[in-house]
Amino acid sequence: MTEATLPIAIPDVIRTEHLVKRFGAVTALRDVSMHLVKGEVLGLVGDNGAGKSTLIKILTGFMQPGGGEISVNGEEVKLRSVSYARSLGIETVYQDLALVNELSVYHNVFLNRELRYSPLPFLNNRKMREQARDHLMKMGVNIPSVDLEVAKLSGGQRQSIAIARAVYTDAKILLLDEPLAAMGAKEATLILELIHNLKAMGEVSIIMIAHNYAQVLEICDRVNLLQHGTITFDKPVAETSLDELNELVMREYRVGTTKTSMKS
């Protein structure tokens, strides 16, 4: 609450100005100006094809915008590659893409940053196991054992581990592309709880793409609605409601259908 009353003190970790992205004749992003405040969870909603994924891909360094500016931590940057974006602390967690099923949980957490008994080339499994366990515990990720192969865990548990790993690798800005898609109620609760814990720790800022407005209202601080390549709605969740969000989308849908019916 104090955040809202202090206008300047809380810096933006990400700010975009008039982002444009076209694919041939198709305009994916028309004019996107948005911002992410440090420590907040921003829900990004919108219909399929509204440009959510394009925006995420640009912020993650996977795609370059056709125009507009991006600032990270107050400095204007060109997110020219995924690894450069990552070096700035921006990390995207994709569902099911991130983890290696055949490796144990702790080997996944330490993938490509394995600890060794240097100067020997051998893995220090004991230390990795302990640190992975401590880290997951700290974040409130609950799994039976870090020794388990990831294949044996549920979708929600794997998603939690993927998010926890991103945080462990010093990600400061997490982009979650539909972290709750295709998940049962219990599984979704796991993820929501984890995001809640992250918020409480206040180290990371999160942009979360979601379809379920109830979940967005439950976990996010602020909602942005993306329609036809531009942000048409930006409110703290406290100032909006499920009805309002539904109404906005329904209105778009009605306009869309009348347009097409007039054409035909």
Q: Which of 29, 58, 72, 99 binds other proteins (CB under 8 A)?
A: 99
Residue 138 touching other proteins (CB under 8 A): yes
Distances (CA, A) of 256 to 45, 50, 102, 219, 250: 17, 13, 46, 30, 10
| Residue position matching structure tokens 């969740």 | 237
Q: Find where tokens 């957490």 sit.
A: 109
| Amino acid sitting at position 122 | F
Categorise residue 228: left if φ over 0, alpha if ψ from -120 to 50, beta otherwise. left
User: Minimum distance between the CB of residue 96 and other proteins, rounded to whole angstroms?
Assistant: 9
Q: Give least dist CB 237 to other proteins, A.
A: 22
Binding segment (CB under 8 A) for other proteins, from list 26-34, 122-130, 214-222, 231-239? 122-130
Query: Token pair for residue 203?
Result: 């180290």
Does 133 contact other proteins by CB under 8 A?
A: yes
At how many degrees (to 10) do helices 155-168 and 185-201 cross? 20
Residue 116 CB, nearest approach to other proteins (Å)? 7
Compute the least distance from the CB of residue 180 to other proteins, in Å: 15
List the structure tokens of 83.
């690894």
Give the one residue of 53, 73, 131, 197 binding other proteins; rule: CB under 8 A. Answer: 197
Q: Nearest to residue 15, comparing CAs of 67, 59, 45? A: 59
Asked if 190 touches other proteins (CB under 8 A), the answer is yes
Q: Which is nearer to other proteins, 186 or 263 (CB)?
A: 186
DSSP 42-78: EEEE--TTSSHHHHHHHHTTSS--SEEEEEETTEEE-
56 binds other proteins (CB under 8 A): no
CB 108 within 8 A of CB 102: no
123 binds other proteins (CB under 8 A): yes
Q: Is residue 83 part of the contact set for other proteins (CB under 8 A)?
A: yes
For other proteins, the closer of residues 190 and 210 by Cβ is 190
Tokens of 175: 């982009």
Site string for other proteins, 169-188 (x = CB under 8 A): -----------------x--
* 63 contributes a contact to other proteins by CB under 8 A: no
CA 238 to chain centre: 21
Regarding 116 and contact with other proteins (CB under 8 A), the answer is: yes
Q: What separation, in Å, do the N-terminal and C-terminal C-alpha atoms of the chain show? A: 50
- Number of residues in contact with other proteins, rule: CB under 8 A? 41
What is the distance between the alpha carbons of residues 246 and 223, in angstroms, rounded to a whole number?
13
- Candidate list 27, 131, 154, 212; residue touching other proteins; CB under 8 A: 154
Q: Which residues bind other proteins (CB under 8 A)?
A: 83, 94, 97-103, 107, 111-112, 114, 116, 121-123, 125, 133, 136-140, 142-146, 149, 151-155, 157, 186, 189-190, 193, 197
